[in-house]
């Protein structure tokens, strides 16, 4: 991690030391998990131990886990390889869902950022052909949590399969794939302090999906390519650590709420997106009229604070974030929104540093002093 105060955990969570140690050790061992000699068998052991740990994190069966190279690849496999011609996705899904199936019917969300269940039911009933419904557990920009179990029950009434992108939720809140009733679930290692370049797709019934990457017979024939043994092992280590620390992670809501309270004192006209809704405990998304996202991100970066305007996959874009637009937030406010996301290394001192730096940005841009309390 750099010397910055890092508050961009929703983009990527810096790997925990235990994960780094596991990666280095297992990379040094070498071995191909498909080889039958002793070194290969040891590599296979690492993969299968990680498979069990990843499954346990989300309440899934170990044999449901397909290791991939990213959450994006997992989403693509679910959306493109489940044999469903009709796909229904919410308007706030990650781009890896929207672009995987650009023929999808888009289900709107309410002003609270929740899937409109009435509109979803209408979309499901519009055609007799069973669909695949894709809805994220928690939004990557706002942290707002969807009623996934209710959505899954509704979709199954119409014979639909249900895919849940849980990339932002895994390791932050308790997940139980069985209790949610979803057929597919996507998670990614680097969002829970594991290595980048490793993801997983959990499949309740392996008969409902075919391979996306073609070649050898790895991952029981559902994902070809030599396994990234060290990366997968690091994923398993991160999943185990995250599972153990769910209660500790929930405590980040105290720091998040303090941050939101203090920025409201500085600028009472800010809008906190998702306030009052169930959210991830680490995510604050707020917009300040007249204070552009770009200026805030750059100003804070110069002050040694790392935050973002939204999804890291959309970096460099200046148009209004589509998630906020889908919620009915006007462009002039949406383009003033920033995301502050906390994580395993965040402390109260980091919140203090953010608030002080953000106050400075406000004062410079608004051309007047803003007090700590008005």
Indicate the DSSP class of residue 321. P
Contact 235, 269 (CB under 8 A): no
For residues 50 and 200, the answer to whether their CB atoms sit within 8 Å is: no
DSSP letter at 284?
A: E
Q: What is the CA radius of gyration of the chain?
A: 21
Q: Tokens at residue 212, please?
A: 């996306």
Residue 246: exposure state from Cβ atoms within 10 A (0-12, 13-18, ≥19): middle
How far apart CA 264 and CA 101 sit, in angstroms, is: 40
Q: How many residues does the chain have?
A: 374
Token pair belonging to 263: 């920025």
Q: How far apart are CA 117 and CA 147, in angstroms?
A: 10
Cα–Cα distance for residue pair 156/217, rounded to 1 Å: 31
Distance of alpha carbon 57 from the chain centroid: 15
Catalytic residues: 313
80/287 Cα distance (integer angstroms): 36
> Can you read off the two tokens belonging to residue 370?
């803003």
Instruction: For residue 177, give the nearest of 156, 203, 199 by alpha carbon.
Output: 203
């Amino acid at each position: 991690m750099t010397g910055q105060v890092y508050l961009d955990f929703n983009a990527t969570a810096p790997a925990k030391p235990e994960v780094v140690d596991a990666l280095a050790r297992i990379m040094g061992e070498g071995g191909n998990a498909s080889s039958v000699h002793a070194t290969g068998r040891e590599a296979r052991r690492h993969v299968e131990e990680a498979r069990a740990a990843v499954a346990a994190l989300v309440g899934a069966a170990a044999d449901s886990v397909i290791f991939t190279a990213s959450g994006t690849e997992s989403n693509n496999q679910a959306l493109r390889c489940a044999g469903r011609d009709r796909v229904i996705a919410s308007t706030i899904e990650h781009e890896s869902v929207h672009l995987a199936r650009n023929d999808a019917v888009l289900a709107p969300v309410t002003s609270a950022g929740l899937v409109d269940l009435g509109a979803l039911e209408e979309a499901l009933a519009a055609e007799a052909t069973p669909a695949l419904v894709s809805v994220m557990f928690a939004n990557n920009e706002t942290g707002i949590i969807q009623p996934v179990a209710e959505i899954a029950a509704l979709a199954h009434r119409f014979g639909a399969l249900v895919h849940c992108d849980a990339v932002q939720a895994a390791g932050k809140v308790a997940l139980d794939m069985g209790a949610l009733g979803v057929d597919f679930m996507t998670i990614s290692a680097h969002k829970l302090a594991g290595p980048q370049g490793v993801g997983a797709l959990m499949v309740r019934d392996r008969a409902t999906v075919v391979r996306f990457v073609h070649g050898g017979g790895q991952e029981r024939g559902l994902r070809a390519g030599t396994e990234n043994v060290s990366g997968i092992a690091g994923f398993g280590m991160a999943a185990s650590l995250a599972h153990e620390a769910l209660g500790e992670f929930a405590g980040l809501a105290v720091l998040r709420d303090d941050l939101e309270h203090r920025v409201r004192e500085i600028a009472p006209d800010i809008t906190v997106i998702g306030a009052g809704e169930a959210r991830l405990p680490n995510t604050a998304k707020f917009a300040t009229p007249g204070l552009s996202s770009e200026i805030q991100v750059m100003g804070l970066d110069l002050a040694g604070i790392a935050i973002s305007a939204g999804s890291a996959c959309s970096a460099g874009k200046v148009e209004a974030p589509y998630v906020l637009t889908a919620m009915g937030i006007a462009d002039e406010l949406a383009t003033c929104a920033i995301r502050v996301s906390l994580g395993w290394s965040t402390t109260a001192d980091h919140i203090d540093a953010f608030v002080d730096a953000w106050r400075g940005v406000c004062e410079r841009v608004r051309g007047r002093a803003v007090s700590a309390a008005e």
